[in-house]
A and B are shown apart, each in its own frame.
Chain A
Amino acid sequence: MVALHPYIRLLKAGFRQQSAYRLAAFGGLVANLTFGFLKVAMLFATVRAGGGTVQGYDIGSMSAYIWISQGLLGSINLSGRIDLADRIRTGDVAVDFLRPLDVQVGTIVTEVGRALFALIPRGLPSVAIGALTVGMTMPTTPGPYLLGAVSLVTGITISFATVYLVAVAGFWLIETRGIQILYMVLSGFFAGLFVPISLFPTWLLVVAEATPFPSMMMYPIDILTGRVTGWASAGLFLVQLGWLAAMLLVGRLLTLAGRRKLEVQGG
């Protein structure tokens, strides 16, 4: 417990740090809503053109998907950007290695703290405005909400554990903007940001499920909205835990190898 203490404080620090940028949070909300209403237009039109349902989505459940995914946009890292990448490029990371904290755990925990704060000014209002303006179908039993909340936090953590890998690739590549953009392109698409992955043709669905991205956003939304229930939702949660463990392990190995590779110039 004593060993965990500094990380809990980092989590809180990240949370409080983000609370300083209220105007930025408002800007984010405006972006969420604008994209949200554009998605409503396109996806509702698709459901209507499909005769009321498309792949099991009706208007109400499509709305729930749209507004929850928009609400999560500020919390799940689908941009691939993380401060650590700059610290590795400039060599500042050498200082981080000198601190009596684990660089990987410290980085991820701080980012998750920021992400959890973003749920308050961006997540909740997006869902509320969506529910009020276009309505949405949500489960009526407590189960999906309980598992959904845990699954959501897990999804957020997976996203930062994966972006951490993008950053530590900088030990070898130095400039990581290329893979950061690659991450940005693939993560949004496969996480189900613009189109739910159930609407993918089978071969593309298989590709998506072989990546950690649906675990970040699609699975938590499926669990939370009751699209997947019972043992199936427990199964999705287990898949999430598997990806989390895998991403953390790879991150650990790359950190160890990268630390040996690190070369800091200057004096």
Chain B
Amino acid sequence: MSGNLHQTSDASKTSRADQAPGRLAAYRAVLASRMRAQRSYRSNFVIDLISSGLVGLIELAEVWLLFHQVGLLGGLTFEQVLLVFGIGDLCFSLADLFVGHLDNIPTYIRKGTLDVFYLRPQPLLLQLMTSDISLRRLTRAAIGLASIVIALSINPIQWSPAKVALLALTIVCGLVTYASLYVWAAGVQFFMVNGAEFTNAFVYGGRYASTQPAAVWSAPLKVLFGFVFPVALVAYVPTLRLLDLPGPAGFPTWLAWCTPPRGAVDGGLRPDDVALRRTALPRRGRLTWTRLSKHTV
């Protein structure tokens, strides 16, 4: 009931905004209505905000509990790992804020409601990105940001212009890397209906992995999360570089500067590039097969 109401009001807003000048007006209208919709169940929204903050805190507690038992893990102290955790978690939460709801794609595909998006004259990915901006994810990003600030203030760092640039680049490129993981996972859903857990292993597994000191990983994990899904480059390797620590086997610290090219390879999240292409599969008319454009994969 309420869902239908929201949709109709969205549609009328969009069409009115389309006549107004400015290409982004439609998206602004859609986003504003999504934000209003979230706040309409007020008690649920407050619990949402608190829970998301708790997610961040408990993930930090999981790391802290191990350091509570021993002083040094993978060559890092808890103070040093706090920086790894902060960068990894901030980038992930921001990517989650912008594209995390691509997780809903399997539901759209199963119910056949994805076609509605194709009927609108806007790129599919951009529509999906603006289909739901969850404000609650901001509290979790705040935990990540707080971890970074605390870690930067308690660890001795020899600041230089290069390091400032590295930190800024790392956060931007980490965000792009995670966003790419989400887009990749959503694209795969067209081929494996009900296979979300398969991709979750690498999206959420990637988040979990990126907050760890990668020195403790076995060789297959280093290949998988260092280079195939390069989450070790999001936080761990840049942290080593910032703290002037030596890199373990497989992760020389000059790799820290490779996050931007890696992010670019994975991402290329320019909305026009990532317009999802639709091709009908003749033999099974019911299914709509869609592929990511070459630029993204």
Contact = CB atoms under 8 A, between A and B. Distances in A.
Interface of A: 21, 23-24, 26-28, 30-31, 33-35, 37-38, 40-46, 49-50, 54-55, 90-91, 173-179, 181-182, 185-186, 189, 194-195, 199-201, 265-266
A45 B224 CA distance: 19
Interface string B157-176: 00000000000000000000
A191 B62 CA distance: 13
B195 A41 contact: no
B198 interface: yes
A33 B220 CA distance: 12
Interface string B191-210: 01111111111100100110
Given A46-B69, A54-B70, A185-B51, A38 B221 contact: yes
Interface stretch (B37-45, B142-150, B236-244): B37-45
Judged by DSSP, the binding face of B is helix
Contacts of A49: 70-73
Interface in B59-74: 61-62, 65-66, 68-74
A43 B74 CA distance: 11
Contacts of B192: 23, 27
Given A26-B198, A31-B205, A200-B65, A173 B73 contact: no
B218 A41 contact: yes
B212 A54 contact: no
B197 A27 contact: yes
A38 B194 contact: no
A189 to B, nearest CB: 5
Interface in B23-76: 41, 43-48, 50-52, 54-55, 58, 61-62, 65-66, 68-74
B49 to A, nearest CB: 8
Given A27-B192, A177-B48, A189-B58, 9 more contacts: A27-B200, A38-B221, A41-B212, A42-B73, A54-B69, A174-B44, A181-B47, A185-B55, A200-B65
Contacts of B154: none
A266 B73 CA distance: 59
Nearest to A37: B221
B1 interface: yes
B80 to A, nearest CB: 15
B205 to A, nearest CB: 4
